[in-house]
Amino acid sequence: MSHLKTLAPYEVKSRDAVENYKGKQLLYINWERHRMFSRPFVLALPPETPFSVIVDQYMTDCFSYHPDWKQIDWNTVVWQNGNTPFTPDRNKSLKENGIGHKDLIRFRTPGLDGIAGTGY
């Protein structure tokens, strides 16, 4: 229950409602145990964007600075949308993969725990 107290009726809209993104939606991406980056980063993309673009373009651009990136065995990667495990289909779109506005994609690379096992 909201504790908000106001002097007058108070109706406000979310500043990040999906309508504000002109056909795009926000997506956050986090590489678990690799906290060296702008941590989870955020993108605005049309829901039709194929999942492969996320990996091949955006994730690669950001994460390839990390020495672990080349070591990833993509067959063992564990994916989550928020706290829910899921298996993305590379060739399907964000929408078809069930990824909505402001979803957080987390991926774990077993055996790779960052620089000297620090989680970074």
Partner 1 sequence: MDMKVAKKLGLKERYTLMTRDLAWDTTYQPMDKVFPQTAYEGIKIHDWDKWEDPFRLTMDAYWKYQAEKERKLYAILDGFNQNNGHLSVTDARYMNVLKLFLGSTPPLELMAARGFSMMGRHMQGAGPRVACQMQAVDEYRHFQTQIHSISNYNKYYNGMDEFAHQQSRMWYLSDGKSFFDDAITAGPFEFMVAIGFAFEYVLTNILFVPFISGAAYNGDMAAMTVGFSAQSDEARHMTLGLECIKFMLEQDPDNLPIVQRWIDKWTWRGTRKLASVGMMMDYMLPKRIMSFKEAWEMYVEENGGALFKDLARYGITIPKCFGQTIEEKEHVTHQSWIGFYMKPQATPFHTWIPTPDEMDWLSEKYPNTFDKYYRPVLEYLDAQEKAGNRFDNKTAPMNCQVCVSTIKFNEPGDPMEMCFRESTYQGEKFHFCSDHCQEIFDNEPEKYIQTFISSHQVLQGNCEPDGTDVNAADFKPGQNMLDYWKLDKRALGDFNGSEDQKNFAAWREQATKN
| Binding footprint of partner 1 on the chain (CB under 8 A) | 2-7, 10, 12-18, 20-22, 24, 26, 28, 30, 32-33, 35-44, 58, 61-62, 65, 82, 100-104, 106, 113-116, 118-120
Question: Residue 56 or 91: which CB sits closer to partner 1?
Answer: 56
> CB of 103: closest distance to partner 1 in angstroms?
7
Question: Which lies closer to partner 1 via its Cβ, residue 111 or residue 116?
Answer: 116
Closest separation between CB of residue 3 and partner 1, Å?
5
Residue 62 CA to residue 95 CA, distance in Å, equals 23
Euclidean distance between CA atoms 73 and 110, whole angstroms = 9
- Element (DSSP H or E) covering residue 120: none
Provide the total of helices (H) and of strands (E) in the chain, helices listed first.
Answer: 2, 5
Kind and range of the H or E run holding 29: strand 25-31
